[in-house]
Amino acid sequence: MEQRLGIAEQARRHGPQIIDHGISFNLWAPTARSVELLEVGQPPRSMPHDDDGWYQLLSPTARAGTRYQFRIDGDLTVPDPASRFQPDDVGQPSEVIDTALLRDWILYPGRPWPEAVIYELHVGAFSEEGTYVGVEKRLPYLRDLGITAIELMPLNDVPGRHNWGYDGVLLNAPNARYGRPQDLKRMLRTAHALDIMVYLDVVYNHFGPQLNYLHSYAENFFTKRHATGWGPAVNLEGRDGALVREFLIENALMWLRDYGFDGLRLDAVHALKDDSDRHFLIELAETVRSQLAGRRVHLMLENEANQAHLLDRRQGRVKHYDAQWGDDFHNALHVLLTGENEGYYRAFADKPLDHLARSLTEGFAYQGEVFPLHDAPRGEPSAYLPPEATIFFAQNHDQIGNRALGERLSVLISPEKLKQALALVLLNPHVPMLFMGEEGAADTPFLFFADWSGEAAELTREGRRREFAHFKAFSTPEMRARIPDPCDERTFLASKLDWVRIDSATESLEFRALTAELLRIRREQIIPLIKHGFVTAERGTIQSGGLDVRWRTANGETLQIVANFAECELPMPPPVDGIDLWRSRASSANVLVPGDIVVRLYREA
């Protein structure tokens, strides 16, 4: 067990701190008049505070496992905002967890970033159990498929029985619906024993709308200087902002250090408003990399602003963030596959083939050009970045779940097009990601679900229907009535994977075999090229529906991908010398049939 800190060293640290003779309880409540510690089994105790609003009390009776709450101004009872576990939901007492006992003293070394093949999943919807144990049981299956990393949608605790996790209330408390902290740790250990990395999605740009008590005693946690789509922004500036930054950075360190996660994906970082000289994102990355030096920790972004500088390399090594989710690639590919042009697809519908080709060769499609949806420039030049600085996918939780009916590509396009998309995602040199069940052409929807109650539930229902009012398919109240109620438990249950079908249906087994074969080719042929380093990338189009993209490594190797997204045959462009790694459709050497994709590789002797 690690050496415990003394009481003086515990001051101004968020959350309960275990020391040799008890627990030091700490709460930053700058706008509270008084705070009492309500330790279960003990009388209420007033907590002294300093001029900056830090309330602290040493309890000699508390131990790991003790449950407690705080009472604000003699009236409002709240959980610890830095709680490590909420066994009975977020509005109930917090439990002291000795996170030091979760740490591994011989750490899993992780894998190099170019080897990442990511599988995104929601713990509650991935398995029948809806728990960490349910995920753990499927890890050998994912290993055998060729998956090298799983990415868990947010685990931070939220009110109710089910939620996507992006409206978190207690960031440090893994959701008790999935199991205890020890269950989560065991799942990570099992994954690491199978050489599978585990990443976690974290949300620092806003808090959930229900049972978030921070406004009641720490108004300074938020600021009116900036606004987001979820209300006032999290305060990251000035003296109070420094304490908020510490709270969020300590959360990142907790997941990586105590639980042993191998990386984090930061949600919607464009909503992290910060005019400080040193942006919060830079401080977070530098702190993580300095405190966890020697470990392979991968940091990923979702960033609508396409800020390439956050992905910079220094002498070939990652400086701050390893990669960003490639939404431009996805959006252009989706338009080509489905023909849809509403919502955010409108920004890619004019030249989807050009947008896709530019994403493949330069990372971003929008690199400072005017973005039609915002009528303002979006993005920064990204052609200098290596391909592995962007994560490409044909589906993810957002792009499925943000649809009114949560349809996957498997019910929107033909099996031939689905195979084409799968091959394109898995055999290009960018880091690939699959969404749970995609490898088996799952047809279960993934809908937006939450377990709000009262006004929050009604606002969510109405907001969901209003969001789709401008789509042709939902232009009338009768049409919008078909949109599933996010707060109905049946919506959550409909989103759970059907493993009976994935494990037995002929089409599912065919896609599973295809996925495994494509990942074998990636492992044996594509990853060595990424490690050698690509120095040039060229793109071209074939008439109005074909793609011809080529990358060249410093060793003189050339990778070529040719694809036909049209509904007619197209001429095959001149292939590079070498061999076919993959061809999806049986056709002549000079013709690309609809849905065809050819991947060729040339290596100098």
- From the CB of residue 300, how many other CB atoms can be counted at a distance below 10 Å? 25
Residue 449: CA count within 13 A, CB half-sphere = 21
- Mean pLDDT of the 568-579 span: 93
Euclidean distance between the first and final Cα of the chain, in Å? 55
pLDDT above 70 for 197: yes
Q: Report the DSSP beta bridge partners of residue 541.
A: 547
pLDDT above 80 for 448: yes
Q: Does the annotation count 98 as an active-site position?
A: no
365-407 pLDDT per residue, tens: 999 999 999 999 999 999 999 999 999 999 999 999 999 999 9
- From the CB of residue 398, how many other CB atoms can be counted at a distance below 10 Å? 21
| Mean pLDDT taken over the chain | 94
Window from 12-21, 114-123, 154-163, 527-536 with minimum mean pLDDT: 12-21
- Mean pLDDT of the 151-172 span: 95
- Which of 583, 535, 543, 533 is CA-nearest to residue 566? 543
pLDDT above 90 for 236: yes
Q: Which pLDDT band, with edges at 50, 70 and 90, does 590 fall under?
A: confident
User: Choosing from 302, 438, 439, 596, which is the catalytic residue?
Assistant: 302
Q: Are 552 and 360 in contact (CB under 8 A)?
A: no
Q: Are 446 and 400 in contact (CB under 8 A)?
A: yes
- Mean pLDDT of the 173-186 span: 97
pLDDT above 60 for 442: yes
Q: Does the annotation count 267 as an active-site position?
A: yes
pLDDT above 50 for 10: no
Supply the pLDDT for residue 330: 98
CA 129 vs CA 1, 179, 450, 493, 494: distances in Å: 33, 10, 18, 12, 14
- Mean pLDDT of the 264-289 span: 97
Supply the pLDDT for residue 553: 97
pLDDT above 70 for 587: no
pLDDT above 70 for 4: no
Supply the pLDDT for residue 12: 66
Supply the pLDDT for residue 13: 83
Supply the pLDDT for residue 209: 80
330-371 pLDDT per residue, tens: 999 999 999 999 999 999 999 999 999 999 999 999 999 999
Supply the pLDDT for residue 3: 37
Find how far residue 311's CA is from the centre of its chain: 17
Report the predicted TM-score, pTM, of the whole model to 2 decimal places: 0.96
User: Choosing from 95, 120, 258, 267, which is the catalytic residue?
Assistant: 267
- Which of 459, 285, 303, 318 is CA-nearest to residue 389? 318
Angle (CA) 127-116-337 rounded to 5° is: 75
Q: Which pLDDT band, with edges at 50, 70 and 90, does 290 fall under?
A: very high
- Mean pLDDT of the 525-551 span: 96
Window from 177-186, 418-427, 482-491 with minimum mean pLDDT: 482-491
Supply the pLDDT for residue 589: 77
Q: Is 41 exposed, middle or buried (0-12, 13-18, 19+ CB in 10 A)?
A: exposed
| DSSP symbols for 186-231 | HHHHHHHHTT-EEEEEE--S---SSS--HHHH-GGGEEEEEEETTE
CA–CA distance, 581 with 399 (Å, rounded to integer): 29
47-100 pLDDT per residue, tens: 999 999 999 999 999 999 999 999 999 999 999 999 999 999 999 999 999 999
**Token match 């976690």: residue?**
200
Q: Which of the pair, 336 or 467, is modelled with greater confidence?
A: 336
Window from 8-12, 67-71, 272-276 with minimum mean pLDDT: 8-12
Supply the pLDDT for residue 318: 96
**Two tokens at 574?**
């001149």
Window from 205-219, 278-292, 299-313 with minimum mean pLDDT: 205-219
Determine how β-strand 156-157 pairs with β-strand 45-46: unpaired
pLDDT above 80 for 6: no
Q: Which pLDDT band, with edges at 50, 70 and 90, does 8 fall under?
A: very low
pLDDT above 80 for 282: yes
Window from 229-233, 345-349, 434-438, 483-487 with minimum mean pLDDT: 229-233
Q: Is 319 exposed, middle or buried (0-12, 13-18, 19+ CB in 10 A)?
A: middle
Supply the pLDDT for residue 586: 67
CA–CA distance, 389 with 380 (Å, rounded to integer): 14
